Structure 1
Amino acid sequence: MMSTLQHKSIYLPVLLTLWLGLFLDSEALSERIQYGQWLTNGLVLLCFAWVYFRVTRKIKKLMLYGVGLAYLGEVVFSIVLGMYEYRLENVPFYVPFGHSLVYAAVFYIQKEKLIQRNKSHLVFVLYWGMIAYSSLWLLFDQDVLGLVCTLVIVLLLKKKTGNELFFLIMYFMVVYLELLGTYYQCWEWPDTWFSIVSFISSSNPPSGIGVFYFGFDIGCLWIYKKLNSKKWRRMKSLRQFKRL
């Protein structure tokens, strides 16, 4: 099966880097190694370079736009609004690069022929898996914020843009990332939304927080369209022609 996966050299290193990088930046390891976050910075940069030189020109641009957009988002949501907090009360250098790596990994996972052949079945399974996952967090940990975020995702998916599989894979990639990050105590989510809205309780992490990655993905595409308008119009015309 592995031999049929054409893009595994892109997303498997990302999955491994997320785990190892967050372990190196963990609260437990910091008691033994003070420079763990620097090791994570170096590891993520190496992975970013590895992936960057293996993707298409369009994805290269989206990855670079993503770094800038992610840094801005992290400053606003973490530092200014206090929606969550990193271990050292900063925005770690590796985090914006990690956002772009997650984007690239999900893009190439959903491009696999094996995935595309089973697209409709996977959308069905992942969709109801998302509903079940969020419902269980609500039931066992009163994760109201996670449920609200998941319901927003459900509404977005009703538009049927053809990107449902991408966003559902993104949802579970974020689940993987958030469970690792909070388990290793690299960051923490408060018990209530922004520690202010008391009637919206939250798990650590909230189950549906991937909705903010959806915004990140849409933001990257918006920047790409604005800075590459001619290419975008040409690509759109080709897609319309193929549908005829």
Structure 2
Amino acid sequence: MLRHFPEAGIIYPHKKRDYFIAAFTFFCVAVCLISDANADMAKQNALGVCGWVFLIGLLLGENKEVRVQVLIAVMFATIGEHFASPFMGGYTYRFGNVPAYVPPGHGMVYLTAVALARSGFFMTHARAITTFVLVVCGLWSLWGVSGIPEQGDWVGAMLFCVFLVYLFKGRSPMVYLAAFFITTWLELIGTAVGTWKWASIDPVLHWQQGNPPSGVAAWYCLVDAVAIGGAPLVFKAWRDVGEWLKAQKGRDDAYQGSGNE
């Protein structure tokens, strides 16, 4: 079940860039969400511009594969945001929109999950981190369905089960583990300051839902999985188009050559 986890007992190298990306994103998330809590639309849009500048700057040091993964994550997450929030009403932002900083924010969140997943600390302590995440998220989910909180969280418990599937059956468990930390951070801050609020009753399942749901990281894992799985398809499509164009050019050159004769 742990075949995709790093080998135990190995000391992996630490790269400052990975920790910088994570620390910078954690800081930006807090500043952005707290700033947006009482911001007008103009300031919200300005935060969006800053988000794109920061994301592009961080991507300059990444390879093509990671850049494509981030692009896919941004596109998929943005579509999902518009469907889940304004259309379905699963959660609602202050202005009933999808703030301008959300698309680049998803890119930074995904990049942070990748950076943490490949970091020396996560690779070296993979088992301990896994245990910590399972205990914390598991207890959180149990608390949500225990009847203690006024607003139950059966959706969160279901999402925690989905998260377990991603973790033990997915191709990139370290990314999913890392996603738990950054997404829990942003969800707790965002809901605490009122930047957005989750519906007490899920509009699809009609189950009680926490604010935020305890297993909310599972939604972000879906974005990560699509980004990781979609990148090879994009590269293959790019190669196929390139080969087709090259073949077309070869046929055109051959045709022109025969015409000249």
Deviations 1:130-188 (A, max 9, x none): 212222233333211111111122233332x4632321221232111111111121111
- Taking the TM superposition and a 5 Å limit, the aligned residue runs for 1:159-178 are 159=169, 161=170, 163-178=172-187
Q: Are the counterparts in 2 of residues 150 and 207 from structure 1 also a CA contact under 8 Å?
A: yes
1:156 maps to which residue?
Answer: 166
In structure 1, distance between residues paired with 2:24 and 2:238: 30
Moved more, 170-179 or 130-139: 130-139
Return the match for 1:209 from 207, 216, 224.
216
1:108 maps to which residue?
Answer: 115
- Taking the TM superposition and a 5 Å limit, the aligned residue runs for 1:45-84 are 45-84=52-91
Q: 1:211 to 1:19 in 2, by over 3 A?
A: same
Q: Percent identity?
A: 21
Give the C-alpha shift of residue 197 in structure 1. Answer: 4.7
Q: Are the counterparts in 2 of residues 146 and 208 from structure 1 also a CA contact under 8 Å?
A: yes
**Is it true that 1:187 corresponds to 2:235 in the alignment?**
no
Q: Are the counterparts in 2 of residues 126 and 169 from structure 1 also a CA contact under 8 Å?
A: no
Q: Are the counterparts in 2 of residues 133 and 207 from structure 1 also a CA contact under 8 Å?
A: yes
Bigger CA radius of gyration: 2
In structure 2, distance between residues paired with 1:143 and 1:213: 18
Q: 1:155 to 1:68 in 2, by over 3 A?
A: closer
Give me the TM-score of the superposition, normalised by structure 2. Answer: 0.78
Q: Are the counterparts in 1 of residues 176 and 224 from structure 2 also a CA contact under 8 Å?
A: no
Give the C-alpha shift of residue 229 in structure 1. Answer: 2.6
Structure 1: 5+ residue runs without aligned partners? 233-244
In structure 2, distance between residues paired with 1:104 and 1:95: 14
Give me the TM-score of the superposition, normalised by structure 1. Answer: 0.83
1:13 maps to which residue?
Answer: 24
Q: Are the counterparts in 1 of residues 68 and 231 from structure 2 also a CA contact under 8 Å?
A: yes
Corresponding residue SS for 2:89: coil
2:33 maps to which residue?
Answer: 22
Return the match for 2:100 from 75, 86, 93.
93
Q: Are the counterparts in 2 of residues 17 and 47 from structure 1 also a CA contact under 8 Å?
A: no
Q: Are the counterparts in 2 of residues 11 and 108 from structure 1 also a CA contact under 8 Å?
A: yes
Give the C-alpha shift of residue 44 in structure 1. Answer: 1.4
Corresponding residue SS for 1:35: helix
Return the match for 2:124 from 108, 117, 129.
117
Query: What is the letter of the counterpart of residue 85 of structure 1?
Result: T
1:235 maps to which residue?
Answer: none
Q: 1:154 to 1:102 in 2, by over 3 A?
A: same
Corresponding residue SS for 1:193: coil
In structure 1, distance between residues paired with 2:109 and 2:30: 12
In structure 2, distance between residues paired with 1:231 and 1:110: 27
Q: Are the counterparts in 2 of residues 103 and 217 from structure 1 also a CA contact under 8 Å?
A: yes
Aligned CA RMSD, in angstroms, stands at 2.3
Name the count of aligned residue pairs: 223
1:43 maps to which residue?
Answer: 50
In structure 2, distance between residues paired with 1:90 and 1:186: 11
In structure 1, distance between residues paired with 2:158 and 2:29: 26
